[in-house]
Structure 1
Amino acid sequence: MRGIWSGKIETPHVPLGIPISDALDILKSVHDDICKTVEDEEVSYKISTAFFEVAVYEKNGIASSVWYNDPTGRLTFLGKRKKIKLYLSRYGQSSNWEKRMNNGWITFYFNDTDKLAMAYGNDMDVIRFNKICSR
């Protein structure tokens, strides 16, 4: 973990809903070693660097979820809170995100406009964005 934080998130932005081949190209631009995992019907592709980890989940050939393990800003509560705001704004306008639930371990935000959901744990390091399926 870096001692001084620039106030920016440095993980790659993988937009949800893009073809998985495009998502893999984004991951490859950061790190060549991509680990593919298949569990039941869920397929993910993960990169690990010295500073963060990113995994992209595939559903029907598209990037349906993105998982970040990013310790950026963890030294202060204000740093962690700023990081969460930066991630939310990466995936949509801040005004579109609504915090709807905290079960004591995980906090959940929803963006009904863009059909997205975000969840993060108490440490605010592990963050996951999901594309919400419309029926």
Structure 2
Amino acid sequence: MIALVTPRIAVGTEDNEVIAVLRLFGSPAREESEREYCYRVEAPLFELAVYPQDAVVRSVWYDDPAGRETEQGRINKVYAYLTRYGQLTDWELRLDNGWMHYWFNPVAHAKMVYGVHKDVIRFNRYDEGHA
């Protein structure tokens, strides 16, 4: 199993708590696009971005090179992240289009999207029927 060095930031967490966590890894930079803004930090071992909405985290993005060298390493990393955000048995892979794997966990009110080619992970808030 892969040991994750990234911080666990749960969707639904208040953004002021998250900014304090991000500061442990560097100065978070605020980035904005037309649709959203995020707080991003580039640490020596990973990159991380947090997307708040109404002062609550709605998405967390990880660029974590752990396990990236092999296919089995990437699979182990995906499972490590899934278990970090709920019981593995609560997660369901609902879509694999060759580029993205879409995992859903209605118990934890989270979904995970894994970008196969860039090996990045994004967790989003999720409520069954209100994706």
> Does the pair score TM above 0.5?
yes
Match of 2:41 in 1: 47
Q: Unaligned regions of 5+ residues in structure 2, if any?
A: none
User: How far apart in 1 are the matches of 2:24 and 2:113?
Assistant: 26
With over 3 angstroms needed to count, the CA separation of the structure-2 counterparts of 1:89 and 1:124, relative to structure 1, is farther
With over 3 angstroms needed to count, the CA separation of the structure-2 counterparts of 1:45 and 1:22, relative to structure 1, is same
Contact 2:99–2:117, Cα closer than 8 Å, also in 1: no
% identical equivalent positions: 35
* Stretches (4+) displaced over 2 A: none
Measure how far apart 1:125 and its partner are: 2.3
| Mapped pair 1:102 → 2:102 | no
Aligned-partner SS, 1:87: helix
Match of 2:114 in 1: 120
Match of 1:12 in 2: 7
**Which one-letter code corresponds to 2:11 in the other structure?**
L
Contact 1:88–1:97, Cα closer than 8 Å, also in 2: yes
Measure how far apart 1:59 and its partner are: 0.6
Match of 1:64 in 2: 58
Equivalenced residues, count: 129
Aligned-partner SS, 1:117: strand
Query: What value does the CA root-mean-square deviation take over the aligned residues?
Result: 1.6
Contact 1:84–1:124, Cα closer than 8 Å, also in 2: no
Measure how far apart 1:103 and its partner are: 1.2
Q: Unaligned regions of 5+ residues in structure 1, if any?
A: 1-5
